[in-house]
Amino acid sequence: MPRSSAVRLSHFLPSLVLLLAGLAAAYVKDLNVFFTSLFNVLPTLVLLLGGAYCAVYRRQRELFLMITVYIAYFLLDTQTDFYRDNGKVRDDAAVVFHLVCLLLPLLFGLFAAWQERTHLFQDMVARFAVLLIFGSVALALEQSFPQALLLWLSEIRWPALHGAWMSLIQLSYPVFIAAFVLLAWQYWRHPRPLHAAQLVGLLGVFWMLPKTFILPFTLNIMCSQVMLMIAAAVAHEAYQMAFRDELTGLPGRRALNERMQRLGRNYVLAMSDVDHFKKFNDTHGHDVGDQVLRLVASKLSKISGGGRAYRYGGEEFALVFAGKTIEECMPHLEVIRESIANYSIQLRNPDSRPQDDQQGRQRRAGAGASSVSVTVSIGVAERIEQRTPEEVLKSADQALYNAKGAGRNCVIAYGQNRRGAVRMEAAAG
């Protein structure tokens, strides 16, 4: 998955929008009856719809994250309803609130970092068992030793670290910090929309808890938003699975097919293929072959002139130029072809791999490394008269075949003969 700033922003953007919307809604005063009624049912509605969505996609981790948030909402909502109706808190309000402040970030971080690695049913049983154990122990302590538990939770253990701004029990802060560091590390290692949503959701929970008894409907709104973040992340990843190629990070063939239906009257399509890829793959191995495909995809993704790259399949890539003519596109295709051809890939001997990073840095460009390069052939076709996108793509594929026959590492337009292609390649060199 590419790790550019734009991609990372796209991971966080939906969750940040939901978080800001929740913050704005929480500070709105004098809500009318419609919004008051909506906020009362919104968390349950989000859980039912989002939970069903997660269940359909067999996303156990996300489902239990939503269940954890909803249990916390239910426990605190009971307290806030009593407070609004009677003007005072229940006798067990403090101990319940402190337990939620401690267990919610703990379980949220645990379930967020717990990836599905076993059979789905076994995974579900294990997660349910963890939730049941924590809930049962907390309930038993709260029912049997409420005062002792309250004193233990509210005790200030590190006076030097306690600030006047702290509105939660001191124990909850290290738990929040540990959960945030864990989830930040998870996102850094595996950048995904879900991991971004978990981070933003944890921030929303951290903001929400101190405002539970202060701002009306803060609990309802923010719990709903956090669950929506998780559901939206599942939808985002489902979209990526369907429309984005996992190896290269480029949009896949399904995305190309959809884009081709919205190209308008004037456009150019190009087909690109890695030269001698099978031989290269057999010689250097599939890992190096994958590295080559990622390199070519990275170069093609930077195509100028308004082009957009797609993974067509195997070692083939498609390039789409909407609203362009073939004369406008050819210089940009030549630039990208030359950029790929001039790039050297460093290969190390797998039998003499360095034992540590320091040796690796010393030997990276030394005798233990060899350099190889790859080239691509490109065929280009332009829409003329009433041709369909599929016909234009077929013509580009025919031009690609001609480029292969012309000696490879060249760009050929549909209808251009091989001799002209050879001359073009020589002129470009």
Residues with Cβ within 8 Å of 168's Cβ and at least 6 positions away in sequence, in order, are: 101, 209, 210
Task: With beta carbons less than 8 A apart as the criterion, state whether 394 and 349 touch.
Answer: no
- The H-assigned helical ranges of 117-192 are 120-144, 146-154, 172-189
Residue numbers annotated as active site: 315
Number of residues written out for the chain: 429
Q: Give me the residue label for tokens 């009593």.
A: 82
Which residues partner with 272 through β-bridges? Answer: 317, 378
Task: With beta carbons less than 8 A apart as the criterion, state whether 113 and 183 touch.
Answer: yes
With H, G, I as helix, E, B as strand and everything else as coil, classify residue 409: coil
Question: Tokens standing for 250?
Answer: 């480029």
Question: Tokens standing for 32?
Answer: 């009318």
With H, G, I as helix, E, B as strand and everything else as coil, classify residue 307: strand
User: Alpha-carbon torsion 133, 139, 144, 150, what sign?
Assistant: positive
Residues with Cβ within 8 Å of 135's Cβ and at least 6 positions away in sequence, in order, are: 71
Question: Tokens standing for 54?
Answer: 């997660």
Does residue 390 come out as left (phi exceeding 0), alpha (psi in the -120 to 50 range) or beta?
alpha
Closest among 107, 119, 12 to 64, alpha carbons compared: 107
